[in-house]
């Protein structure tokens, strides 16, 4: 899931475990614990691209890490407070600046959305963000910088429990997405992917976050604070359970669509599209092609109306040695759900598309893949990859994609009789 969702989940775990003892600090440290596994993305600063992508959602998302790391972070947290580092002016200045930068980054991201969609800033978003920013800076000044922070005491095992639950739940939630999580590292590189929730789903995150925000305004001893926290946790669990049963329904619809067209296949997968749990896609693998379709559960009669054929073109990789590291990575990372397209005129570059992430529609217009890689030959003769979706995309294409997705989410009404 996205980083904000993992922060919310971690904060909820921290509050549920230690809110009575630590107050809002429990949420803060839970949010930090929920962020720790995703720090594995920093591997790209120290190693090559293939190694970094293999390491992400690897050992730091494993059950072994969740079992061992909390004991270390618990000791560090106790040391931090026992030495009264949190009361030092220098630390408070650095921490305050980090929070301001974090807010500015979040505000910039929120205000960038209307720029992409409509080509201009939305005052309905910008002005509330500005007001919230002034309030946030005032709160930091009054309740953090000018306030004398008292000592913080909590048993070591409380810290262990806080970090365990905030770290342990992170990879479990990631397993619900289609990216794949190596929870059995270092014993196995098997990627667990249950494909039941989108990597970004506001309907999961926003109600959860609102429950926690309301809880932060209450004293730690008030029962309502704990009730709000558990309301958010129950929403999280209920939403994931609902998506699980929704997935079973979508799979039946996909199987029915393939059977009606007499299409034979080896295996298939289904997954919700980005930002929602209403529009789902299915990918079925046959001998030489994949079958791809979309369904909206808000349609009058939900069904996969169109099934697109995507040629595998795996033969385009035949001239590359099978033991090439880049090719082995792509096959492993995509779980075998990939097609290949020529790219350029020289033959030294190919486009490999991870079909687990679907398309921007239910057709192949403009090669609208969500998660494409460029596989290219380096001067030394070996092959490497470049993840193309990290490059800036055309705002018009993004606007068109989001507009079509919104139409599909609304569904097709029943014909008027």
Separation of alpha carbons 292 and 304, rounded Å? 9
Mean pLDDT along residues 318-332: 92
Separation of alpha carbons 307 and 289, rounded Å? 12
Judgement on whether residues 63 and 206 belong to the same structural domain of the protein: yes
> Cα angle at 42 between 41 and 47, to 5 degrees?
105
Judgement on whether residues 61 and 166 belong to the same structural domain of the protein: yes
Separation of alpha carbons 285 and 263, rounded Å? 10
pLDDT at residue 219, rounded to an integer: 92
Give pLDDT tens digits for 156-199.
Answer: 999 999 999 999 999 999 999 999 999 999 999 999 999 999 99
Judgement on whether residues 203 and 74 belong to the same structural domain of the protein: yes
Q: Tell me the CA end-to-end span of the chain in Å, nearest whole number.
A: 43
In sequence order, what are the residues at sequence separation of 6 or more whose Cβ sits closer than 8 angstroms to the Cβ of residue 12? 27, 30, 208, 211, 212, 229, 232, 233, 236
Give pLDDT tens digits for 339-352.
Answer: 999 987 777 899 99
Separation of alpha carbons 172 and 169, rounded Å? 5
Judgement on whether residues 294 and 378 belong to the same structural domain of the protein: yes
Contact criterion met (CB below 8 Å) for 286 and 306? no
Share of the chain above pLDDT 70, in %: 95
- 200 vs 365, more confident: 200
Judgement on whether residues 327 and 206 belong to the same structural domain of the protein: no
Mean pLDDT along residues 329-339: 95
- 266 vs 48, more confident: 266
User: 41: domain range?
Assistant: 3-242
Give pLDDT tens digits for 12-44.
Answer: 999 999 999 999 999 999 999 999 999 999 898
Is pLDDT of 392 > 60?
no
Separation of alpha carbons 303 and 270, rounded Å? 14
Compute CA 321 distance to the chain's CA centroid, rounded to the nearest angstrom.
33
> Which residue is it, tokens 């990627």?
191
- Is residue 250 situated within a structural domain? no
Judgement on whether residues 268 and 392 belong to the same structural domain of the protein: yes
In this prediction the pTM is 0.91
- The answer to whether the Cα torsion of 234, 152, 162, 40 is positive or negative is positive
Judgement on whether residues 154 and 300 belong to the same structural domain of the protein: no
Q: Mean pLDDT over all residues of the chain? A: 90
pLDDT at residue 94, rounded to an integer: 92
Question: 3-state class of 352 per DSSP?
Answer: strand
In sequence order, what are the residues at sequence separation of 6 or more whose Cβ sits closer than 8 angstroms to the Cβ of residue 300? 411, 412, 413, 414, 415
> Which residue is it, tokens 């082995």?
328
Lowest mean pLDDT among 159-163, 223-227, 305-309, 356-360: 356-360
Q: Where are the alpha helices (DSSP H) in 56-88?
A: 63-82
Domain boundary, last residue among 211, 242, 273? 242
Is pLDDT of 412 > 90?
no
Separation of alpha carbons 338 and 331, rounded Å? 8
- Is residue 357 situated within a structural domain? yes
The torsion defined by the Cα of 29, 31, 35 and 36, in degrees rounded to 10, comes to 20
- The answer to whether the Cα torsion of 28, 33, 37, 42 is positive or negative is positive
> Which residue is it, tokens 């969609």?
117
Separation of alpha carbons 117 and 395, rounded Å? 7
Judgement on whether residues 191 and 315 belong to the same structural domain of the protein: no
The tokens of 325 are what?
Answer: 């590291």
In sequence order, what are the residues at sequence separation of 6 or more whose Cβ sits closer than 8 angstroms to the Cβ of residue 4? 205, 209
- Is residue 97 situated within a structural domain? yes
Share of the chain above pLDDT 90, in %: 66
- 100 vs 61, more confident: 61
Which residues of 137-278 form beta strands (DSSP E)? 267-272
DSSP β-bridge partners for residue 352: 340, 373
- Is residue 417 situated within a structural domain? no
- Is residue 247 situated within a structural domain? no
For residue 168, how many other CB atoms are within 10 A of its CB?
Answer: 19
Judgement on whether residues 42 and 100 belong to the same structural domain of the protein: yes
Q: How many residues can be counted in the chain?
A: 417
Judgement on whether residues 150 and 270 belong to the same structural domain of the protein: no
What are the angstrom distances between the C-alpha of 302 and each of 88, 257, 306? 60, 11, 12
What are the angstrom distances between the C-alpha of 89 and each of 97, 143, 197, 230? 12, 14, 43, 35
pLDDT at residue 169, rounded to an integer: 98
- Is residue 290 situated within a structural domain? yes
Domain boundary, last residue among 182, 213, 242? 242
Question: 3-state class of 412 per DSSP?
Answer: coil
pLDDT category of residue 417 using cuts at 50, 70 and 90: low
Domain boundary, last residue among 242, 270, 295? 242
Question: 3-state class of 269 per DSSP?
Answer: strand
In the DSSP assignment, the letter for residue 38 is: G
By C-alpha distance, which of 406, 7, 409 is closest to 205?
7
- 221 vs 160, more confident: 160
Q: Which helix (H) or strand (E) holds 385?
A: strand 383-387
pLDDT category of residue 393 using cuts at 50, 70 and 90: low
Judgement on whether residues 384 and 308 belong to the same structural domain of the protein: yes
By C-alpha distance, which of 75, 74, 81 is closest to 153?
81
- Is residue 162 situated within a structural domain? yes
pLDDT at residue 390, rounded to an integer: 45
- Is residue 254 situated within a structural domain? no
By C-alpha distance, which of 14, 50, 46 is closest to 30?
14
Give pLDDT tens digits for 50-76.
Answer: 999 999 999 999 999 999 999 999 999
pLDDT at residue 367, rounded to an integer: 65
Judgement on whether residues 236 and 266 belong to the same structural domain of the protein: no
Q: For the chain, what is the domain count?
A: 2
pLDDT at residue 152, rounded to an integer: 87
pLDDT at residue 386, rounded to an integer: 86
């Amino acid at each position: 899931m996205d980083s904000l969702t993992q922060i919310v989940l971690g904060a909820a775990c921290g509050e549920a475990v230690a809110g009575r003892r630590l107050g809002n600090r429990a949420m803060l440290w839970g949010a930090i614990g929920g962020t720790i596994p995703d720090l594995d993305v920093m591997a790209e600063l120290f190693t090559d691209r293939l190694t970094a992508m293999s390491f992400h959602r690897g050992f730091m998302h494993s059950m072994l890490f969740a079992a061992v790391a909390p004991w270390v972070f618990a000791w560090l947290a106790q040391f931090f407070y026992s030495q009264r580092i949190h009361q030092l002016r220098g630390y408070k200045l650095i921490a305050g600046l980090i929070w301001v930068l974090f807010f500015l980054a979040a505000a910039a991201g929120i205000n960038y959305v209307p720029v992409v969609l409509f080509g201009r800033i939305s005052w309905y978003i910008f002005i509330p963000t500005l007001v919230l920013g002034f309030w946030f800076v005032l709160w930091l000044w009054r309740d953090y910088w000018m306030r004398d922070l008292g000592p913080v005491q909590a048993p070591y095992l409380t810290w262990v429990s806080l970090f365990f639950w905030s770290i342990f739940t992170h990879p479990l939630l990631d397993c619900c997405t289609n990216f794949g999580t190596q929870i059995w590292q270092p014993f196995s590189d098997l990627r667990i992917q249950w494909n039941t929730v989108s990597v970004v789903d506001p309907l999961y995150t926003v109600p959860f976050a609102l429950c926690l925000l309301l809880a932060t305004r209450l004293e730690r001893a008030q029962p309502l604070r704990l009730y709000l926290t558990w309301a958010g946790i129950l929403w999280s669990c209920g939403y994931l359970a609902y998506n699980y049963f929704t997935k079973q329904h979508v799979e039946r619809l996909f199987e029915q669509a393939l059977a009606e067209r007499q299409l034979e296949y080896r295996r298939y997968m289904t997954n919700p599209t980005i930002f929602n749990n209403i529009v789902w896609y299915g990918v079925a693998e046959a001998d030489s092609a994949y079958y791809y379709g979309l369904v909206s559960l808000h349609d009058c009669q939900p069904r996969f109306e169109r099934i697109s054929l995507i040629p595998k073109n795996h033969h385009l990789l035949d001239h590359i040695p099978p033991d090439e590291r880049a090719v082995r990575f792509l096959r492993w990372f995509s779980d075998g759900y990939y097609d290949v397209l020529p790219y350029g005129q020289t033959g030294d570059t190919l486009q490999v598309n991870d079909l687990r992430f679907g398309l921007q529609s239910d057709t192949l217009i403009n090669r609208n893949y969500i998660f494409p890689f460029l596989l290219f030959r380096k001067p030394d003769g070996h092959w490497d990859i470049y993840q193309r979706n990290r490059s800036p995309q055309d705002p018009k294409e993004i606007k068109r994609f989001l507009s079509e997705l919104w139409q599909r989410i609304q569904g097709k009404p029943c014909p008027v009789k």
